[in-house]
Amino acid sequence: MKFENTLRFARLQDKKDPLRKYRDQFLFPKHNRREAVYFTGNSLGLQPSTVSKYIQQELDDWAKFGVEGHFYARKPWMPYHEQFAKPVAKIVGAKPSEVVVMNHLTVNLHLLMVSFYRPTKKRFKIICEAKAFPSDQYALQSQVKFHGLNPKDAIVEVAQRKGEYAIREEDIISAIEKNKNELALVLFGGVNYYSGQVFDMKMIAAAGHKAGAIVGFDLAHAAGNIKINLHDWNVDFACWCSYKYLNSGPGNVAGLFVHEKHHKEKNIPRFAGWWGHDKASRFKMEKNFVPLQTAEAWQISNAPVISMAAHKASVDIFDEVGMNALVTKSKQLTSYLEFIIEDINAQVNNKKFYLEIITPKERGCQLSIVAHGQGKGLFNKLMSKGVIPDWREPNVIRCAPVPLYNSFEDIFRFGQILEAAL
């Protein structure tokens, strides 16, 4: 598509956009009584306008039925989490039996590592990306220490080469091959939170398996953003949060994937709770844990229904739209943002003050931008003019035009404000 930096062009694209009606299903923060240019769906997605109705329904059923709501609520609470299996499986490319919605992201990562990081004297290393999200780094370090090992010996980070922002695939492969005799686990993000780089999960899974390791992914920045096929890629496990692209509200419930090949493993270590126990005998309240033969076996507690109602409101929208349509629009929007930024660079034409997009072509909707010669002042100016991107130390502005609710006009407006700010 040939882009133009004009309001007319942007509005024309919005008119042609088959997903344009979804914008009206989200609540935008306002700036001077106008909708802000919200580019932070990679951090906290906007609220679907149906959320309050979904939550109110559970509050009403709680008032009406009390404890009996577990059976008689319109969406009975006892199997409440089960309604997520199909739509969430579609988002991450899994079988419904391979996913479960529970807890929070880092909690789930820990629970999965209990099962899938089982270091031996010989195989004890974890390969991960350098500059992984800090919570993931802390999780890895503490798991390694929990097994009596030293993170310095056990954690191998694959870093960007000097002067580069993306991690090269060949460097990931060569790190795996180099450490293959000692490798227990490969744990990568699906999309790096800082640079927006999408990792080739299929390739990493194949390389990790070839080396005899387990392979898992943190999909915080991938779920609802890019096409994922966890089952077909033979990924062992994955986890994600629901508050970014999945628009389910601050700190809301997270998700977890365990490939079906692990469901029947008898001696897999696992921290257990009653919601992972066989459903037929759960309420016999007997002594011994009998795990379900699905990802639900990793579930520990009963579902937090009221907050999960917000997740349901959002997942219903994803189910209606589908990832294919979202990704198609996402590519157009992000390419338009890239075009606008390059157009501004050309107009400003200053070697000291320019915007460098550090996100590689392997990307979802996020572009990470280094504003050379500008610093945080530029970010503050954008915020004061009604643009909401986010700032990551030491010098990156992240912008994520989200296909469910952002428009071409948002991007055009962003360009105008950015150019004026420069």
Ligand X SMILES: Cc1ncc(COP(=O)(O)O)c(C=O)c1O
Contacts with ligand X by CB under 6 A lie at 104-106, 133, 135-136, 189, 193, 218, 220-221, 241
Taking the least distance from each CB to ligand X, the nearer of 255 and 276 is 255
CA–CA dist 116, 140 (Å, integer): 12
221 vs 385, beta carbon nearer ligand X: 221
State which amino acid sits at residue 140.
Answer: L
Closest approach of Cβ 44 to ligand X, in Å? 9
The residue to which tokens 């628009």 are assigned: 247
Nearest approach in angstroms of CB 167 to ligand X is: 15
DSSP state of 19: T
* Length reported for the chain: 422
Contacts of 59 (CB under 8 A, 6+ apart): 306
Q: Cβ(218)–Cβ(249) under 8 Å? A: no
In the sheet that holds 155-158, the strands lie side by side as 99-102, 254-258, 237-240, 214-218, 183-189, 125-129, 155-158
Pairing of strands 214-218, 237-240: parallel
The rounded distance, in Å, linking the Cα atoms of 92 and 57 is 28
**Residues 255 and 58: beta-carbon distance below 8 Å:** no
Q: What's the CA gap between 300 and 16, in Å, rounded?
A: 46
Q: Shortest distance, CB of residue 177 to ligand X, whole angstroms?
A: 26
The answer to whether residues 341 and 314 touch, using CB atoms and an 8 Å cutoff, is no
Q: Which is nearer to ligand X, 61 or 236 (CB)?
A: 236
Contact 335, 29 (CB under 8 A): no
Strands 183-189 and 125-129: parallel
CB of 253 to ligand X, least distance (A): 10
Contacts of 83 (CB under 8 A, 6+ apart): 75, 312
Q: Are strands 396-399 and 390-392 parallel, antiparallel or unpaired?
A: antiparallel
Q: Which is nearer to ligand X, 133 or 199 (CB)?
A: 133
Residue whose entry in the numeric block shows the structure tokens 């930096």: 5
Residues 172, 201: contact at Cβ < 8 Å? no
Residue 239: phi and psi, rounded to 5, are -145, 160
Closest to 392 (Cα-Cα) out of 42, 9, 31, 104: 42
Nearer to ligand X, 167 or 378 (CB): 167
Q: Between 408-421 and 376-384, two packed helices, what is the crossing angle to 10 degrees?
A: 120
To the nearest whole angstrom, how small is the minimum distance from the Cβ of residue 224 to ligand X?
A: 13
Measure the CA–CA gap between 16 and 299, rounded to whole angstroms: 43
